[in-house]
């Protein structure tokens, strides 16, 4: 028996010798190992950082730039920042973190890709590590509540929180619709929650069923408030906010891509003397990008995509779709036709995104298929082609997509495919950019589907099914009595 087991032995020998042995042969096995079971209802201990010090994360100072070293952040958090290779603060982080780390409310105008997510996560993780709660905590009572309008954004924020808080021993729960309610409820009941990221509707479900209590929320974060407003979530958000402590006793951070009068009024009612930060959207010189729209049918799109890439010998291509399922399907198709391909979407962890982008920059990956979640903030030198396999519904997303090329005055090319569904969004895009886009029908030879290099491989995780037999074949069928 090792030294750890011997330390626990005295607590066992206090009991009468073998008095309970007859009750079952396994009782002796359960007794010495019963203590670790309690860990499921207690906060996780901070991982040891003895083998890592801030000296291992060396970032030389640069004039006019703020390092994360300059913010006096806790060592476990700095370890996570080091793993993500975050060296200098983005403009919004440099401007907002000194105030939010001191406990002030904040109202920020910032879009996806500006670093705002890391800004508010660094704030709340630092405050929790610096102010640990030693008393017993009830399950289902989060210290930090982050509200986001969509499932994809909830997943993205949760993953980034786990990456940043990798060494901090925090419990992070994500709650959104479309997933099994009981499974999410069991996660809530398992241990005290430090950070909860949720969509408003599902959060209210948990609250109304008394599986969740918001009276202990220390920091409330509302992300993409303008989208909340557009999607009709504000009444739900109000109900949620009324269940949290008053704004005089909680910290509130609100972010929006636009500062309309309605959003400003909401900020005034939900925050207390906030620091206001406005990060203007990146200026994209649309005139430096050659833009063309190919008019095709939905069935012709893939053949055209393949031939555009192969015939023009494009080496680094960024392709945009509107949804994750479209991204996955297109990536699988391109791989079958021999192209090295990877995906970027809200479900992809931050660290994997960085790795895939580095491989893309190094030429190890020829094609990246992405959603708009990553359209902002990606900057790759020498990438001169962006392809819109599906046109975005929001004209501003179109501008940010094509802005991945033609940067710093260099020329770039944007190619868009428009079928009957996509064509509906063209007028709004043209009005937004202030110019008519050339729309042409490609030559027939560009629409010939080539032969795939690799045969389709079915999902091996599913057992093979007999030909002609449906999944429910034979189910509930009466069997003849053989007596």
Would 115 be classed as within a structural domain?
yes
- Calculate mean pLDDT across residues 414-426: 93
Would 381 be classed as within a structural domain?
yes
Q: Quick one: 301 and 273 in the same domain?
A: no
Q: Quick one: 272 and 299 in the same domain?
A: no
Q: pLDDT, tens digit, for every residue of 341-394?
A: 999 887 777 668 778 888 888 889 999 999 886 665 566 666 778 999 999 998
Q: Is the pLDDT of residue 400 over 90?
A: no
Would 273 be classed as within a structural domain?
yes
Q: Quick one: 102 and 194 in the same domain?
A: yes
Please, how many CA atoms are within 13 Å of residue 343, restricted to the half-sphere of its CB?
A: 21
If you write DSSP's letter for every residue of 132-195 in order, what string do you get? ---S---TT--SEEEE-SSHHHHHHHHHHHHHHTTTTT--EEEE-TTS-HHHHHHHHHHS--SE
Domain's final residue, options 225, 245, 278: 278
pLDDT of residue 12: 39
Q: Quick one: 111 and 132 in the same domain?
A: yes
Q: 59-63, 396-400, 415-419: which range is least confident on average?
A: 396-400
Q: How far apart are CA 250 and CA 221, in angstroms?
A: 11
Which band of pLDDT confidence, cut at 50, 70 and 90, is reported for residue 69?
A: very high
pLDDT of residue 457: 55
Radius of gyration, CA atoms only, the chain: 27
If you write DSSP's letter for every residue of 113-130 in order, what string do you get? TSSHHHHHHHHHHHHHHH
> Which residues, including other chains, have CB under 8 Å from residue 417's CB and lie 6 or more apart?
293, 294, 296, 301, 304, 305, 387, 388, 389, 390, 391
Domain membership of residue 424 as a residue range? 286-447
Q: If you ran DSSP here, which 8-state letter would residue 88 be given? A: B
Q: What is the CATH number of the domain that holds 155?
A: 3.40.50.300
Would 355 be classed as within a structural domain?
yes
Q: Quick one: 364 and 298 in the same domain?
A: yes
Q: Quick one: 272 and 328 in the same domain?
A: no
Q: Quick one: 246 and 369 in the same domain?
A: no
Tokens of 141: 């009572």
Domain's final residue, options 260, 278, 296: 278
Domain's final residue, options 255, 278, 301: 278
Would 132 be classed as within a structural domain?
yes
Which band of pLDDT confidence, cut at 50, 70 and 90, is reported for residue 97?
A: very high
Would 199 be classed as within a structural domain?
yes
Which band of pLDDT confidence, cut at 50, 70 and 90, is reported for residue 11?
A: very low
Q: Quick one: 253 and 309 in the same domain?
A: no
Q: Quick one: 303 and 170 in the same domain?
A: no
Q: Quick one: 366 and 416 in the same domain?
A: yes
Would 29 be classed as within a structural domain?
no
Residue pair 145/198 in contact by the 8 Å Cβ criterion = yes
pLDDT of residue 177: 84
Q: Quick one: 178 and 327 in the same domain?
A: no
Q: Quick one: 251 and 350 in the same domain?
A: no
pLDDT of residue 257: 82
What are the CA-CA distances from residue 238 to residues 222, 259, 305, 316 (Å)? 11, 19, 46, 46
Where do the DSSP E strands lie in 266-338? Answer: 275-278, 289-295, 317-320
Percent of the chain residues past pLDDT 90, beyond the cut = 48
Which band of pLDDT confidence, cut at 50, 70 and 90, is reported for residue 319?
A: very high
Would 238 be classed as within a structural domain?
yes
Q: How many domains does the chain have?
A: 2
């Amino acid at each position: 028996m090792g030294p750890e087991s011997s330390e626990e032995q005295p607590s066992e020998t206090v009991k009468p010798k073998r008095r309970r042995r007859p009750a079952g042969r396994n009782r002796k096995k359960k007794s010495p190992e019963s203590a670790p079971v309690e860990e499921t209802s207690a906060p996780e201990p901070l991982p040891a950082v003895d083998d890592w010090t801030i000296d291992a994360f060396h970032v030389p100072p640069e004039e006019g730039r703020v390092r994360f070293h300059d913010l006096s952040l806790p060592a476990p958090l700095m370890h996570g920042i080091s793993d993500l290779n975050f060296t200098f603060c983005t403009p919004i982080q440099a401007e907002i973190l000194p105030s939010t780390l001191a406990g002030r409310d904040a109202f920020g105008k910032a879009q996806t890709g500006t670093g705002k997510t890391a800004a508010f996560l660094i704030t709340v993780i630092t405050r929790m590590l610096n102010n640990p709660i030693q008393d017993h905590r009830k399950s289902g009572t989060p210290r930090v509540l982050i509200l986001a309008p969509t499932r994809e954004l909830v997943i993205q924020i949760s993953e980034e929180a786990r990456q940043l808080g990798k060494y901090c021993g925090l419990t992070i729960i994500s709650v959104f619709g479309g997933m099994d309610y009981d499974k999410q409820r069991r996660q809530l009941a398992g241990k005290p929650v430090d950070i909860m990221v949720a969509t408003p509707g599902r959060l209210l479900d948990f609250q109304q069923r008394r599986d969740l209590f918001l009276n202990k929320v220390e920091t409330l974060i509302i992300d993409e408030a303008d989208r909340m407003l557009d999607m009709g979530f504000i009444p739900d958000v109000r109900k949620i906010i009324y269940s949290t402590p008053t704004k005089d006793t909680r910290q509130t951070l609100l972010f929006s891509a636009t500062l309309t009068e309605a959003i400003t009024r909401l900020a005034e009612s939900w925050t207390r003397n906030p620091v206001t930060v406005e990060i203007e959207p990146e200026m994209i010189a649309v005139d430096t990008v050659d833009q063309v729209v190919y008019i095709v049918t939905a069935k012709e799109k893939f053949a055209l995509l393949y031939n555009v890439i192969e015939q023009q010998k494009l080496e680094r291509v960024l392709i945009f779709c509107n949804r994750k399922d479209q991204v996955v399907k297109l990536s699988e198709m391109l791989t079958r036709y021999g192209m090295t391909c990877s995906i970027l979407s809200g479900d992809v962890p931050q660290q994997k995104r960085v790795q895939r982008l580095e491989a893309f920059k190094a030429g190890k990956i020829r094609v990246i298929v992405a959603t708009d979640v990553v359209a902002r903030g990606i900057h790759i030198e020498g990438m001169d082609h962006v392809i819109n396999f599906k046109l975005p519904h929001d004209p501003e997303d179109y501008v940010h997509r094509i802005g991945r090329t033609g940067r710093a005055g260099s020329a770039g090319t944007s190619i868009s495919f428009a079928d009957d569904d996509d064509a509906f969004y063209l007028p709004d895009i043209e009005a937004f950019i202030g110019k008519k886009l050339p729309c042409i029908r490609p030559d027939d030879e560009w629409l010939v589907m080539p032969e795939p290099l690799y045969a389709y491989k079915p999902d091996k995780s599913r057992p093979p099914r007999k030909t002609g037999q449906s999944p429910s074949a034979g189910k509930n069928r009466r069997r003849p009595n053989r007596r």
